[in-house]
Amino acid sequence: MAEKIVIIGGSAAGPKVASKARRLDQEAEITIIQKGKYLSMASCGYPYYVGGVFDNRNMLISTPTGVQRDPTFFSKVKDIKAIVNTEAKSIDRSAKMVVAENLETGEQIKIPYDKLVITTGATAFVPDLPGIDLEGITTLQSMEDAEYLKQIVLDKKIKKAVIVGGGLIGIESCEALELAGFEVTVVEMLDQVLPFLDWEMAKLVENYMISKNMQIRTSTAVTGFTGEKGKLKGVKLDDGSLLDCDLAVIAIGVRPNAKLAGEAGLEIGQKGGITVNRFMQTSDQSIYAAGDCVEVTNLVTHNKQHFPMGDLANLQGRVAAQNVVLGNIVDFEGVVGTGICKIADYTAGSTGLSEKMARAEGYTNILTAIHAAPDKPGFMGGKPIIIKIIADKTNCKFLGMQAVGLGDVAKRVAMAAVALQGRFSIPQMVNLDLPYAPPFSPAIDNFIAAIHVMENKCRNMMTGISCREVKSKIDAGEDFLLLDVRGPGEYEQMRLGVGEELIPLGSLRNSLDKLPKDKDKEIIVYCKISLRGYEASCFLTAQGYTNIKVMEGGLLAWPFKREK
Provide CB contacts within 8 A for 344, sequence distance 6+.
Answer: 175, 178, 208, 212
Say which amino acid occupies 534.
Answer: Y
Phi and psi at 226, nearest 5°, equal -115, 155
Residue 38 binned pLDDT confidence (cut-offs 50, 70, 90): very high
Provide CB contacts within 8 A for 445, sequence distance 6+.
Answer: 412, 415, 434, 436
479 and 520 in a common domain: yes
> What is the extent of the structural domain holding 371?
339-458
**pLDDT tens-place string over residues 245-286:** 999 999 999 999 999 999 999 999 999 999 999 999 999 999
**pLDDT tens-place string over residues 86-108:** 999 999 999 999 999 999 999 99
471 and 548 in a common domain: yes
Domain boundary among 190, 217, 252: 252
Q: CA of 306: how far to CAs of 166, 172, 297, 465, 558, in Å? A: 18, 20, 9, 34, 33
> What CATH number should be reported for the domain holding residue 519?
3.40.250.10
443 and 518 in a common domain: no
Report the domain count for the chain.
4
Does residue 564 lie within any of the structural domains? no
pLDDT over 90 at 371, yes or no: yes
Does residue 131 lie within any of the structural domains? no
Residue 1 binned pLDDT confidence (cut-offs 50, 70, 90): confident
Cross-sheet strand order for the sheet of 523-526? 464-465, 548-551, 523-526, 481-484, 501-502
Domain boundary among 423, 458, 493: 458
210 and 259 in a common domain: no
* pLDDT for residue 334: 97
Give pTM, 2 decimals. Answer: 0.94
What mean pLDDT comes out for the span 214-220? 97
244 and 163 in a common domain: yes
**pLDDT tens-place string over residues 52-83:** 999 999 999 999 999 999 999 999 999 999 99
What mean pLDDT comes out for the span 524-532? 96
Does residue 532 lie within any of the structural domains? yes
375 and 313 in a common domain: no
What mean pLDDT comes out for the span 184-210? 97
Domain boundary among 304, 326, 348: 326
> Could you give the angle at which helices 310-326 and 13-24 cross, rounded to 10 degrees?
30
Report the 10 Å Cβ neighbour count for 67: 14
For residue 334, is it left (φ>0), alpha (ψ between -120 and 50) or beta? left
pLDDT over 90 at 348, yes or no: yes
- The mean pLDDT of the chain is 96
pLDDT over 90 at 328, yes or no: yes
472 and 454 in a common domain: no
259 and 248 in a common domain: no
Residue 564 binned pLDDT confidence (cut-offs 50, 70, 90): confident
Does residue 332 lie within any of the structural domains? no
- Residues of the chain with pLDDT > 90, as a percent, come to 98
Does residue 331 lie within any of the structural domains? no
> What CATH number should be reported for the domain holding residue 351?
3.50.50.60
Task: Tell me if residue 61 falls in helix, strand or coil.
Answer: helix
**pLDDT tens-place string over residues 431-475:** 999 999 999 999 999 999 999 999 999 999 999 999 999 999 999
User: Strands 160-164, 548-551: parallel, antiparallel or unpaired by DSSP?
Assistant: unpaired
**pLDDT tens-place string over residues 490-522:** 999 999 999 999 999 999 999 999 999 999 999
* pLDDT for residue 11: 94
Residue 81: beta bridge partners? 31
* pLDDT for residue 413: 98
Q: What angle do CA 394, 395, 398 make, to 5 degrees?
A: 110
Q: Is 109 exposed, middle or buried (0-12, 13-18, 19+ CB in 10 A)?
A: middle
110 and 12 in a common domain: yes
286 and 187 in a common domain: no
Does residue 238 lie within any of the structural domains? yes
243 and 193 in a common domain: yes
pLDDT over 90 at 165, yes or no: yes
Does residue 452 lie within any of the structural domains? yes
395 and 294 in a common domain: no
Does residue 563 lie within any of the structural domains? no
Closest residue by Cα to residue 371 from 181, 179, 533: 533
Provide CB contacts within 8 A for 389, sequence distance 6+.
Answer: 368, 369, 370, 371, 398, 400, 401, 450, 451, 453, 454
